[in-house]
Amino acid sequence: MMAEGRKRVKAKSAATRVQGSRIELRQSPIHGRGVFALKRLESGSRVAEYKGERITHREADRRYGITDDSKPDHTFLMTLDRRYVIDATPSRGWAKWINHACEPNCEALIYGDRIYIHTKRDIRRGEELFIDYGLNVDSDDDPARYQCRCGQPGCRGTMLGLTAGAAA
Ligand SMILES: C[S@@+](CC[C@H](N)C(=O)[O-])C[C@H]1O[C@@H](n2cnc3c(N)ncnc32)[C@H](O)[C@@H]1O
Ligand SMILES: [Zn+2]
């Protein structure tokens, strides 16, 4: 679901309460910045749109596909369909900060040309929100770069999806 760049960025650690929202951004024990519930979130509720610019995969590759020290450490891309991807890099939306877990409490659902984050179960106040990235990467890409550190009992050890290696 989520496309991925080649490098990593050092995330900011300050907590940011999103105005009028049910979530905050703060340091995650899993990686960098993460998204946390400020209130109980009911199962099946829409918590955010994965906001960004709709661009083609080709354009995403042009922007982020090549290892280049001058480019950002990692990308904020989520696949919409075979042709398009949402580039959340310039977006002020918080959904782009959601980390991956193998047994996620949220999921990304596509409605037309938009992607929304929905809860998969009730989420307690203070819990971190996760989705399963199910990354698709180039077949020549090193899977070791996508190791998962979610630490859940069902962790499959990777942020890659089952179809990894196929075109995103
Ligand atoms: C879109 S960012 C998510 C926000 C990120 N925590 C940050 O502060 O920039 C995606 C990156 O977070 C890291 N990440 C997210 N979930 C992870 C997990 N379960 N295990 C290891 N790294 C993870 C990976 O480096 C991935 O490339
Ligand atoms: Zn995992």
pLDDT digits (tens, 9 = 90+) for 11-54: 234 566 655 679 999 999 999 999 999 999 999 999 999 999 99
Q: Is residue 17 part of a domain?
A: yes
Average pLDDT (6-10) is 30
Residues with CB under 5 A from ligand 2 (ion): 102, 148, 150, 155
Q: What pLDDT score does 21 carry?
A: 79
Supply the CATH number for residue 20's domain.
Answer: 2.170.270.10
| Residue carrying structure tokens 């960098």 | 32
154 located within any domain? no
| pLDDT at residue 117 is higher than 50 | yes
| 156 in any annotated domain | no
Domain for residue 153, yes or no? no
Q: Point out the ligand nearest to the CA of residue 2.
A: 1
> Which residues span the domain enclosing 136?
2-146
What is the rounded average pLDDT for all residues in the chain? 84
Looking at the structure of the chain, the number of domains it has is: 1
- Bridge partners of 41, per DSSP, are 123
* Joined tokens for residue 108: 């990304």
- 38 by DSSP, 3-state: which? coil
Among 14-18, 49-53, 76-80, 114-118, where is mean pLDDT lowest? Answer: 14-18
pTM of the model: 0.86
Locate 142 and state its tokens: 């090193």
For the CA of 28, the closest atom of ligand 1 is 6
pLDDT digits (tens, 9 = 90+) for 119-151: 999 999 999 999 999 988 777 778 888 999 999
CB atoms within 10 A of CB 137: 20
Residue 21 lies in a domain: yes
Q: Ligand 1 — pocket residues by CB below 6 A? A: 4, 8-9, 11, 28, 30-34, 74, 76, 96-97, 99-101, 148-150, 159
Is 165 a member of any domain?
no
Q: Looking at the domain assignment, is residue 25 inside a domain?
A: yes
- Asked whether residue 99 is assigned to any structural domain, the reply reads yes
Kindly give the distance from the C-alpha atom of residue 94 to the centroid of ligand 1, in angstroms, as a whole number.
14
| Residue of higher predicted confidence among 153 and 72 | 153
What spacing in Å lies between the alpha carbon of 153 and ligand 2's midpoint?
A: 8
**Ligand 2 centroid distance, CA of 10 (Å):** 20
Expressed in angstroms, the distance from the first to the final Cα of the chain is: 8
Per-residue confidence (pLDDT) for residue 97, from 0 to 100: 97
